[in-house]
Amino acid sequence: MLQTAVLILAYIVGCFSTAYFLVKLQYGQDIRTLGSRNVGARNAGRMYGSKAFLITFIGDTSKAALVVYAAGKVTSSLTYLLLALLAVIIGHIYPVFLGFKGGKGMSPFAGGALILDWRIFLLMLALALVFLILSRRFSPAGLTAILTFPLLIFHFQHSWTNALIGLLAVFLILYAHRSNIMEIVRSWTT
């Protein structure tokens, strides 16, 4: 019962959109009507500068880190911790309080992955940096790096179940980034 309650709470925490509240309180505007209309760190940064980006990134990363950490206090099951990470990502992408239109999931993914297994996080970060140097574009670098998440989970945890949960988290993030992915494909083919 407690484990189910924590997963529901993880979704609710995921629904807290740092950019939405930051822009609403600081500037009196709705970020969902500005720029890309996304409530993530990149749009906050585009509209209000690096400080807004940083505050949003830290807020959205921290909420997932806190959720995975708290789930670890309930049980040591890595499967359960992955489910908690998945729940917070779902809340971030599909927040009930914002009409199920939220961010794209990269920031909470990063925060949760760091707490889940720092080795996996550091390997993905290293891959992202390599891809960033090669492509000189942030989105392709990050999206390419997270594709390794299920493989790294299987490598370190030796669990098909956990790898599949990781794959579902990656699929949700890629689906949220589908317009970015189409832009990247178009830019490489023209």
Burial of 176 (0-12, 13-18, 19+ CB in 10 A): buried
* Contact in structure between 83 and 11 (CB atoms under 8 Å): no
Read off the pLDDT band of 137 (50, 70, 90): confident
Tens of pLDDT along 33-62? 888 888 988 899 898 988 999 999 999 999
Per-residue pLDDT, 49: 87
Cβ-Cβ contacts under 8 Å for 8 (sequence gap 6 or more)? 87
- E strands, 31-178, where? none
Which amino acid is residue 156, in one-letter code?
A: F
Check pLDDT > 80 for residue 1: no
CA distance 176 to 103: 8
Tens of pLDDT along 68-93? 999 999 888 999 999 999 999 999 99
Read off the pLDDT band of 188 (50, 70, 90): low
Closest to 142 (Cα-Cα) out of 132, 134, 152: 132
Looking at residues 92-100, what average pLDDT do you find? 93
Read off the pLDDT band of 142 (50, 70, 90): confident
Q: Helix 78-93 and helix 2-15: axis angle, to 10°?
A: 30
CA distance 65 to 59: 10
Mean pLDDT of all residues in the chain?
90
Q: What is the DSSP letter of 34?
A: S
Per DSSP, the three-state class of 30 is coil
Check pLDDT > 70 for residue 120: yes
Q: What's this model's pTM, rounded to 2 decimal places?
A: 0.91
HSE on the CB side for 146, CA within 13 Å?
Answer: 26
**Which has the minimum average pLDDT: 50-54, 91-95, 140-144, 150-154?**
140-144
